Structure 1
Amino acid sequence: MPFRLTTKNRVILLFLCLLALALSGCKESKAPEKPVVQETPARPPGCESCHPEVRLDPSHNLACTDCHGGNPKGATQELAHAGLISQPAHPDQMQKGCGGCHARQVAEAATSLHFTAKNEVNAVRTAFGAQAPLASLTQIPTHETIGSSLDLADDLLRRRCLRCHAYNSGDSYPETVRGTGCAACHLAYTNGTMTSHAFSKSPGDSQCLHCHYGNFVGADYYGRFEHDFNLEYRTPYRTDGSETRPYGVEFHQLAPDIHQQKGMACIDCHSGAELMGGHSGAGKKEKAVTCLGCHGWRTGLPIPLDNLQVEENRLVLFARLTGKKLVVPKLVHPAHKQYGKKAHCTVCHSQWSFNDQGTHLLRIDNPDHPAWSRLSVQGSREVEEQLDNPPGQGTSLRDKINEASSPSLWLKGYELRRWESPLIGIGTDGMLHIFRPILDLHLSMADANKKVLFDNVGVAPRQQRYLPYTPHTVGKAGAFFNERLTPNLPTEIQP
């Protein structure tokens, strides 16, 4: 039967069509609106708009540009940093950055041992044949080619050894990073970053330890003896993710110095006048403090330090950082009178000492990485990163004075590392001293083709490898102090 639309059906169909059009929301199409572009407003001028965290101490509440230069009105980083001096306390900048207010201190510091490191530099260079001393580490020659053992020693000093000086900001381990120049001591760093822009007049021991770590004086004051480099010494094992090598190599915790245990900081003995190279602006050189200066003091003698006072005929020390009051013990044991002019105090009173014998250093252009896998801890982050992840374009090591990179690495290892038996010998003053084999160095070099150019070049005669030093591991002498004295005293002056 054919389908036909009735009048009623037509009305219903028309209604449904109109309803569908209404529900579909048909509207006249419009051109899409253009997105509104939000322009980034320019920052307000002034360093604080980008560096709100910087807080200054009252004595240095200066405009940032007074020290750092730059343009405080610059609205962009590029404009604001025009002429910026990032390290105004660096030795190359400190005359301008710090000298305007601290002219005397800057002039004296520039010639101090902390800045020049001339004693350490000249000891190594003389041992390898240098004829004339240098006034500063900056005078160590650079060499395009290595033609002698002295050239090799110069390269070692500039590229591997001299990471702890005022021209360098330190290795990149958490507790070896620091400022440069004046800031190396007077700005606090922790965990690799500057923690405060407030300058500290009296630096704490943590500042000293940014440089005086490893098996060198300073770390021993806290009882720290560095582990060997071999894989077996990678302890303690930790599961909490904490840093096990804040100073580059793990360390044994031995007995700290008695002065540290009593609450004395480094600056309680080593004053700014001594460390900065002058005294009271008079151009005099401050005498280094000695054990006898304090413990052998008696009425009528000069007081050796400005944080000492006399109370009831006794010397009393006031700790510079804490104000703690400490009575200085006097020498009462009869052995002091018997041996006082025959032996340095530490011969009896050092609890242990550094004894790293046979320090071998190899300069190599193309190291055999698998062969060094058990010695991948090197106490140098720059070296370790290249041993762990061999670079595709050859190795390189920065000059720690001028920052220039040169091909090849300096790799390091020891024959023996011990602490328990201090080495005792006779110094140039005729007295017994503790010695350490600080110049027991053996230098080697191989080129890119692994051809050996220098092989195990050491210091001769052997006696010159040992130098006297003062261990900062002082404690009670104990009942067996004679065992250190009697066998080592010359026969003619033995009791």
Structure 2
Amino acid sequence: MIRLYINILVICLLSACQPPFMDSSLGKSGCRRCHSVELDPAHDIGCNACHHGTPEGYTRVQAHNGLIPMPSHPSRMAGACGRCHAREVTAAGSSGHFTMSGVIRAVWSGFFPGEQVPTLLELPIEEPPCTEKGLVSDMLRRRCFRCHVYYQGDDYIGTTRGTGCAACHLSIKAKGPWDHKFRGKVPDIRCLSCHYGNFVGWDYYGRFEMDFEDDFRVPLVEGEHIQRPYGMEWHDMTPDVHRTAGMGCTDCHHSGPCGGKERNVTCTDCHLEDKTGPHSGPPMDRKRIGHRPEDAGLVACAVCHAVWAVQDRGRSLIREDFPDYDDWSYLAIQGSSEVETTVKTCVNLPYEDWTIPRMLDKITGAYRQGLWFESFTERRWGLVELGEDAYGRLTVIRPILDLSLTYVDFSGVVRFDNLQPKIINDDLGSGNATRTGISPLWLPYSPHTIGPADAFRTIYVRSWLNKRIGFFSGIKLLN
């Protein structure tokens, strides 16, 4: 009897030491033996259809041979998502969400006016940066494009997401355990995983990011640390009236990056009497200033109706290849998980144990030396500033190009100091200039803080329109 027990024990131990067989009843490929995921019916087509790999693999290493972890990444989405969604993938690939053409054009034209603007994949890589273009490109690649679909986002629960198509159509970390159910309609929480931190969209929810310095933040509420799902705390401001009414981002921006040339909903689609838009809004009084037919195309609706606007000034971006972490400890929390993790780790270590920092290139996925830190002269919300765009249209503006770049190399030598945009004249050909005497560092934008019209701005608009229309017609318009 004892010998029988010994034999049974030996058999059990030997079987426990064997590599796992991929014989799960949940999936013939064996993937679901280890990966317990739920798929929506349309995408329950087998894991290897998109992720490849070797389903018949005997061990984990064998099964993962040839695995594609992120098949929806922009570099692979045509071969995965595009097999069934060719039109959408083609449209998305050329959209601003994927090309970042608007961001690149604004920054590049500011620093290098009149020069050819590179595409996303043409941005030069210099390591270390030896030229102004190399430095500006490095800043864009490693600090600015943290919200780009090539990158999975900072390591915060509100910003970690998929890449490419999955950035919008799969859930984000904030929703709990990752699932694999694709959604056709994109909820706002997916949009906010990129449109946060004082960028348009964040203001739609009435949020304004706090200052980076510890002295200006409110990390404790009733003695408890508050959560930072987006890396930074925020002030609660007045949300957009459309948000208060229950509308989401895609109610107006319904086409998204997959819509190609499909036009998004405009204010007049829903607020003119004919209401050609999908929503029913209060009709515009066509006799009021700014609503008159002759005013069309001359004044942006937000000029009167924006309740507040973002005015972050004096943005400084500093690359340091071997920073003094003690100097940066009070700015460790600045919306970048890479900066926060590195500074908080090293500041508690003796100097001889400090590590050489690395930061990811958000386009290529490659690490390079140095950290990009950020700070501001002031972060304010306040009066809505107005100016004319390059086409003479009155619009809301903010100091988008009020920034400077500095680079300190590994030896502590300052290679570039306070590099600033070179726009000093109202160069209408650049498309960036304003025509009201305000610095061309202030560029047009569309605040999503819509509410009742501001009385004083309405008075200003009437005066501006009388001059503007009267100049072309030779008569002075009244009322």
Provide TM-score, normalisation by structure 2.
0.84
Q: What corresponds to 1:260 in structure 2?
A: 243
- Which of 143, 147, 155 does residue 126 from structure 2 map onto? 143
Larger CA deviation: 372-381 vs 353-362: 372-381
Shift of 1:240: 8.2
| Counterparts of 2:318 and 2:465, CA distance in 1 | 38
Is the CA contact 1:249–1:379 (under 8 Å) kept in the aligned structure 2?
A: yes
Contact 2:212/2:333, CA 8 A, preserved across alignment: yes
**Counterpart of 1:73 in 2: which secondary structure?**
coil
Is 1:47 the counterpart of 2:31? The answer is yes
Query: Paired residue for 1:461?
Result: 423
Taking a change above 3 Å as real, the CA distance of residues 44 and 482 of structure 1, as seen in their structure-2 partners, is closer
1:445 matched residue in structure 2:
407
CA distance in 2, matches of 1:471, 1:270: 14
* Matched residue, 2:350: none
SS at match of 2:102: helix
C-alpha separation between the residues in 2 aligned to 1:44 and 1:334?
71
Write the distance in 1 (CA, Å) between the matches of 2:265 and 2:327. 47
- CA gap of 1:457–1:115, structure 2 versus 1, over 3 A, is same
Which residue identity is paired with 1:417?
Answer: R
Whole-angstrom CA distance in 1 between matches of 2:226 and 2:179: 22
Corresponding residue number in structure 2 for 1:330: 283
Q: How far apart, in 1, do the equivalents of 2:188 and 2:305 lie? A: 22
1:70-101, Cα deviation, whole Å (9 max, x unpaired): 22232321122121111111111111111111
Does the C-alpha gap of structure 1 residues 120 and 219 become closer, same or farther in structure 2, counting only changes over 3 Å?
Answer: same
Choose which of 396, 402, 414 in structure 1 pairs with 2:364.
402
1:10 alignment counterpart: none
1:352 aligns with 2:304: no
* Distance change (3 Å), C-alpha of 1:139 and 1:461: closer
The answer to whether structure 1 residue 234 and structure 2 residue 217 are counterparts is yes
- Please list, as runs of the form range in 1=range in 2, the aligned pairs for 1:271-420 lying within 5 A after superposition: 271-272=254-255, 274-278=256-260, 285-296=261-272, 298=274, 303-304=276-277, 308=278, 317=279, 327-332=280-285, 334-335=288-289, 336-337=291-292, 340-390=296-346, 392-420=354-382
Shift of 1:477: 0.9
Q: State the 1:176 CA deviation.
A: 0.4
Work out whether residues 157 and 173 of structure 2, in 8 Å CA contact, stay in contact via their aligned partners in 1: yes
* Cα contact 1:238–1:244 (8 A) shared by 2: no
Cα–Cα, structure 1 residues 193 and 126, in superposed 2: closer, same or farther, change >3 Å?
farther
Q: Distance in 2 between matches of 1:228 and 1:188?
A: 29
Aligned partners of 1:187 and 1:194 also within 8 Å: no
| In structure 2, C-alpha distance between the alignment counterparts of 1:129 and 1:69, rounded to whole Å | 44
Equivalent residue letter for 2:288: P
Q: CA deviation at 1:247?
A: 0.6
Question: CA separation of 1:342/1:91 partners in 2, compared to 1, >3 Å: closer, same or farther?
Answer: closer
Q: 1:56 to 1:404 in 2, by over 3 A?
A: same
Is the CA contact (8 Å cut-off) linking 1:217 and 1:471 kept in structure 2? yes
Aligned residue number for residue 453 of structure 2? 477
- Counterpart contact for 2:22–2:31, Cα < 8 Å: no
> Which residue in 1 is equivalent to 2:58?
75
- Deviation digits for residues 144-192 of structure 1 (CA, Å, limit 9, x no counterpart): 2423322211010011111111111111011000000110000011338
Note if contact 1:127-1:464 (Cα within 8 Å) is conserved in structure 2: no
CA distance in 1, matches of 2:106, 2:397: 15
Please say if residues 122 and 133 of structure 1, whose CA atoms lie closer than 8 Å, have aligned partners that are also in contact. Answer: yes
1:339-360 C-alpha deviation (Å, 9 max, x unpaired): 5554211011001111111101
Q: Does 1:224 align with 2:207?
A: yes
Report the equivalent of 2:90. Answer: 107
SS at match of 1:191: helix
Establish whether residue 211 from structure 1 lines up as the match of residue 194 from structure 2: yes
Contact 1:424 1:435 in 2 (8 A): yes
CA distance in 1 between counterparts of 2:421 and 2:152 reads 30
Q: 1: distance between equivalents of 2:221 and 2:329? A: 21
SS in 2 for 1:367: coil
The alpha-carbon distance between structure 1 residues 450 and 98, as it changes in their structure 2 partners (threshold 3 A), is: same
Query: Quick check: 1:177–1:193 contact (8 Å CA) kept in 2?
Result: no
Identify if the C-alpha distance between structure 1 residues 478 and 145 changes in structure 2 by more than 3 Å, giving closer, same or farther: closer
Give, in whole Å, the separation in 2 of the partners of 1:374 and 1:421: 29
Q: Which secondary structure does the structure 1 equivalent of 2:440 belong to? A: helix
Larger CA deviation: 76-85 vs 469-478: 76-85
337-346 or 101-110, larger mean C-alpha shift:
337-346
- Which moves more between the two structures, 226-235 or 390-399? 390-399
1:238: Cα distance to partner? 3.6
Per-residue Cα deviation, 1:286-320 (whole angstroms, up to 9, x for no partner) = 23432223213537xxx35xxx2xxxxxxxx2xxx
CA distance in 2 between partners of 1:382 and 1:393 (Å) = 13
When structure 1 is superposed on structure 2, of 37-46 and 473-482 the one drifting more is 37-46
Distance 2:21 2:38 in 1: 20
Given candidates 99, 116, 122, the residue that maps to 1:116 is 99
Deviation at 1:239, TM superposition (A): 5.9
1:365 CA displacement: 1.7
Aligned residue for 1:321? Answer: none
- Partner of 2:72, secondary structure, is coil
Structure 2 residue identity aligned to 1:329:
P
Q: Do 1:166 and 1:184's aligned partners in 2 also have CA atoms closer than 8 Å?
A: yes
What TM-score do you get using the length of structure 1 for normalisation? Answer: 0.82
SS state of the match for residue 35, structure 2?
coil
5+ long unaligned stretches in structure 2: 24-29, 347-352, 425-438, 471-475
Shift, 1:128, TM fit: 1.3
SS of 1:39's equivalent in the other structure is helix
- The residue aligned with 1:9 is none
Q: Which has the higher contact order (CA 8 A, sep 6+)?
A: 2
Letter in 2 for 1:352: W
Alpha-carbon distance in structure 2 between the residues aligned to 1:490 and 1:138: 46
Residue in structure 2 matched with residue 174 of structure 1 by the alignment: 157
Residues of 2 paired with 1:79 and 1:198: CA distance? 27
Q: Is the 8 A contact 1:113 1:119 kept in 2?
A: yes
Alpha-carbon distance in structure 2 between the residues aligned to 1:100 and 1:117: 25
User: More displaced, 328-337 or 83-92?
Assistant: 328-337
Q: Which has the larger radius of gyration?
A: 1
Structure-2 change in CA distance of 1:78 and 1:241 (3 Å): farther
